[in-house]
């Protein structure tokens, strides 16, 4: 009973992971919103926090720019630019400072040749192929009764889970660098640092959730199509 009934694997594997992902996304949104209302005692903005961390690490060549959107913050290694969203760039909230410091942490990772981020960058092209072509290849192989083609699709999909797995140490390390830099800078009080850690912890859970969704989908595909033909 494979093809057209209720997908039990989706219900028991993917649905819980998706619910967890929704919870994690809601948590990061509500946590950021809460601490975005708490102003830093020093008046330091997200831009200033990123700039200070970059300067402390000798990264004067890394630019910090504003980008539209909410929580669209990221570091672009090709352009060597940290882009901070409207809600972070000029805001002097503890949430904005935490997010900006995290992105500065990514810039420091690249500058210090942090191995996991180099690995993640290296596998992005394969991951892009896997996320786009894996499911069609699995289905074509399944309906044509070509198990090697199915296995190829499963292998390609597995690269997505590997990418999410490699992302975890990258993101946790960037947050650790951010916290250490802010603490060493001496401009954040203890209660401000507690708030920063809560914001970064909530953000980290979204990456854990992304890994859970990827692994759940991979297991579902393996159980449904691995080693089986259409008949």
Which pLDDT value is given to residue 123? 94
Residue 221 domain-assigned (yes or no): yes
Interior/surface letters 66-98, b for 16+ CB within 10 angstroms, e for the rest: ebeeeeebebbeeeebbbbbebbbebbbbbbbb
Place of tokens 């890394």: 62
81: alpha, beta or left, given left = phi > 0 and alpha = psi -120 to 50? Answer: beta
77-124 pLDDT, tens digit each? 999 999 999 999 999 999 999 999 999 999 999 999 999 999 999 999
123-137 pLDDT, tens digit each? 999 999 999 999 999
Mean pLDDT of 2-11: 72
Rounded Cα gap, residues 167 and 139, in angstroms: 28
Rounded Cα gap, residues 110 and 178, in angstroms: 14
18-72 pLDDT, tens digit each? 999 999 999 999 999 999 999 999 999 999 999 999 999 999 999 999 999 888 9
Rounded Cα gap, residues 103 and 74, in angstroms: 6
Which pLDDT value is given to residue 82? 98
167-193 pLDDT, tens digit each? 999 999 999 999 999 999 888 999 999
Q: List the catalytic residue out of 48, 103, 171, 192.
A: 103
Residue 136 domain-assigned (yes or no): yes
% of the chain with per-residue pLDDT over 90:
90
Q: What residue numbers bound the domain in which 171 lies?
A: 8-225
Which pLDDT value is given to residue 1? 38
Residue 36 domain-assigned (yes or no): yes
- pLDDT range class, residue 10, cuts 50, 70, 90: very high
Name the DSSP class of 40. Answer: -
Question: DSSP states of 135-190 as a string?
Answer: HHHHHHHHHTT-HHHHHHHHHHHHHHHHHHHHHHHHHHHHHHHHHHHHHHHT-S-H
Residue 230 domain-assigned (yes or no): no
pLDDT surpasses 60 at 231: no
Residue 102 domain-assigned (yes or no): yes
**Rounded-to-10 torsion of CA 15, 18, 20, 24:** -170
Structurally, the chain folds into a number of domains equal to: 1
Residue 195 domain-assigned (yes or no): yes
Mean of the per-residue pLDDT values of the chain: 93
Residue 167 domain-assigned (yes or no): yes
Check if 48 is active-site: no
Rounded Cα gap, residues 10 and 55, in angstroms: 48
Residue 20 domain-assigned (yes or no): yes
What is the side-by-side strand order in the sheet with 81-85? 63-67, 81-85, 74-76
């Amino acid at each position: 009973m494979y093809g057209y009934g209720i997908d039990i694997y989706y219900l028991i594997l993917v649905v819980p992971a998706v619910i967890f992902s929704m919870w994690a996304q809601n948590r990061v949104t509500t946590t950021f919103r809460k601490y975005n209302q708490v102003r830093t005692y020093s008046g330091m903005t997200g831009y200033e926090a990123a700039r200070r961390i970059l300067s402390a690490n000798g990264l004067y060549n890394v630019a910090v720019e504003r980008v539209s959107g909410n929580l669209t913050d990221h570091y672009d290694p090709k352009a060597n630019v940290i882009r901070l969203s409207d809600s972070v760039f000029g805001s002097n909230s503890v949430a904005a400072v935490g997010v900006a410091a995290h992105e500065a942490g990514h810039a420091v990772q690249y500058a210090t040749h942090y191995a996991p981020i180099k690995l993640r960058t290296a596998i992005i092209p394969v991951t892009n192929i896997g996320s786009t072509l894996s499911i069609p290849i699995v289905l074509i192989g399944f309906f044509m009764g070509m198990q090697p083609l199915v296995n190829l699709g499963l292998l390609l999909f597995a690269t997505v889970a590997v990418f999410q797995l490699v992302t975890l140490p990258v993101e946790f390390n960037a947050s650790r660098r951010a916290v250490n830099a802010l603490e060493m800078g001496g401009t954040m009080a203890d209660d401000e640092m507690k708030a920063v850690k809560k914001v970064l912890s909530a953000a980290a859970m979204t990456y854990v959730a992304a890994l859970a969704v990827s692994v759940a989908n991979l297991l579902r595909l393996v159980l449904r199509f691995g080693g089986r033909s259409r008949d």
